[in-house]
């Protein structure tokens, strides 16, 4: 029988400081793992516990896995103390994936808030590599302060390939997405001319959106995007919950009839509305 709770051994090869409280861990699992954008691993430290961590590295390259971890809790603090080389445990990958196939040859808008860029990174990389000239892709990225903008190299590389980038700092995405305030709204397009030039140049009717970030950001973003004329089925987000097993058994992530770990964590806005999923 397959051991679903037994982590495989993985070696931490490299640790990069990204911001004072965020580190990028380059991990080499015992055997290569196959994963898709949006999935997560259960990262396991023997003697501490397990946490779900989304995968940051581009899919298709399976020998190393990159995990972007912010120090917030007990286990993430413990893993920040890890000095390479060191062995940790990995289980997974678990969860469903961003359905990038449906968005083929369509305009795409990515909305990331803070660490939300991490799970979107493999998807953006894949989309940018497959990009054709006519396709328009925009990234709205908000963070608390300029120093906390992650993956600057990647963003530059994406921009060279034609990504429309909109950075919002200080108040983060509130600045970009404040649909209510007319003077500096970016998406609604009814603001002053100077501001409206900063609207992402995509056709919202047929576009796909991938939203990822802190819970406080997700719900206003999705509402704004749907009022912009996007189909609710085409707005995807990644929800988060307390998880202990990652395989739909422990019950911690069970909300409104779905296990976020096996049925999620990626949901479309239509599904969230239908099931009345709570975005914390």
Q: Which residues bind another protein (CB under 8 A)?
A: 1-6, 46-51, 72-76, 214-215, 240-242, 244-245, 247-252, 254-257, 262, 278, 280
Q: Which residue's CB is nearer to another protein, number 228 or number 261?
A: 261
Yes or no: say if 69 and 59 are a contact pair by the CB < 8 Å rule: no
Q: Which residue's CB is nearer to another protein, number 52 or number 191?
A: 52
Minimum distance from residue 250 beta carbon to another protein (Å): 5
Q: Which residue's CB is nearer to another protein, number 75 or number 99?
A: 75
CA distance 82 to 47: 14
Q: Which residue's CB is nearer to another protein, number 247 or number 270?
A: 247
Cβ-based neighbours of 228, under 8 Å, separated by 6 or more? 187, 188, 204
∠47-52-54 over CA atoms, to 5°?
135
State how far the alpha carbon of 24 is from the alpha carbons of 21, 76, 148, in Å: 10, 12, 13
Q: Which residue's CB is nearer to another protein, number 28 or number 252?
A: 252
Minimum distance from residue 45 beta carbon to another protein (Å): 8
Q: Which residue's CB is nearer to another protein, number 50 or number 148?
A: 50
Yes or no: say if 180 and 151 are a contact pair by the CB < 8 Å rule: no
Minimum distance from residue 144 beta carbon to another protein (Å): 13
State how far the alpha carbon of 232 is from the alpha carbons of 61, 185, 223, 260, 267, in Å: 32, 21, 9, 19, 11
* CA of residue 276 relative to chain centroid, distance: 21
Q: Which residue's CB is nearer to another protein, number 16 or number 280?
A: 280
Q: Which residue's CB is nearer to another protein, number 164 or number 262?
A: 262
DSSP, collapsed to helix, strand or coil, labels residue 68 as strand
* CA of residue 215 relative to chain centroid, distance: 12
Q: Phi and psi for 263 in degrees, rounded to 5?
A: -85, -20
Minimum distance from residue 52 beta carbon to another protein (Å): 10
Yes or no: say if 87 and 11 are a contact pair by the CB < 8 Å rule: yes
Q: Phi and psi for 32 in degrees, rounded to 5?
A: -60, 145
Minimum distance from residue 66 beta carbon to another protein (Å): 20
Structural tokens at position 163:
């990504």
CA distance 49 to 47: 6
Minimum distance from residue 9 beta carbon to another protein (Å): 9
Minimum distance from residue 244 beta carbon to another protein (Å): 5
Minimum distance from residue 279 beta carbon to another protein (Å): 9
Going 225 to 39 to 12 to 43, the CA torsion angle's sign is positive
């Amino acid at each position: 029988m397959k051991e679903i709770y037994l982590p495989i051994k993985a070696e931490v090869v490299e640790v990069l400081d990204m911001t004072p409280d965020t580190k990028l861990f380059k991990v080499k699992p015992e055997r290569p793992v196959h994963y898709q954008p949006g999935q997560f691993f259960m990262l396991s430290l023997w003697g501490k516990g397990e946490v779900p961590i989304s995968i940051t590295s581009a899919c298709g390259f399976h020998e190393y896995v990159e995990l972007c971890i912010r120090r917030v809790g007990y286990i993430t603090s413990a893993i920040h103390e890890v000095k390479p080389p060191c062995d940790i445990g990995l289980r997974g990958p678990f969860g469903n994936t961003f359905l990038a196939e449906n968005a083929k040859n369509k305009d795409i808008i990515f909305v990331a808030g803070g660490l939300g860029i991490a799970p979107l990174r493999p998807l953006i990389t894949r989309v940018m590599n497959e990009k054709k000239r006519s396709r328009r892709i925009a990234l709205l990225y908000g963070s608390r302060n300029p120093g906390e903008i992650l993956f600057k190299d990647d963003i530059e590389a994406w921009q060279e390939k034609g990504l429309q980038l909109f950075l919002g700092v200080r108040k983060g995405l509130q600045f970009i997405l404040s649909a209510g305030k007319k003077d500096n709204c970016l998406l609604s397009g009814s603001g002053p001319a100077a501001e409206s030039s900063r609207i992402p140049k995509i056709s919202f009717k047929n576009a796909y959106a991938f939203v990822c970030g802190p819970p406080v950001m997700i719900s206003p973003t999705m509402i704004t995007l749907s009022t912009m004329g996007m189909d609710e089925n085409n707005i995807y987000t990644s929800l988060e919950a307390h998880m202990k097993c990652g395989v739909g058994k422990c019950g911690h992530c069970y909300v409104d009839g779905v296990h976020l770990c096996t049925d999620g964590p990626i949901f479309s806005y239509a599904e969230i509305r239908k099931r009345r999923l709570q975005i914390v």
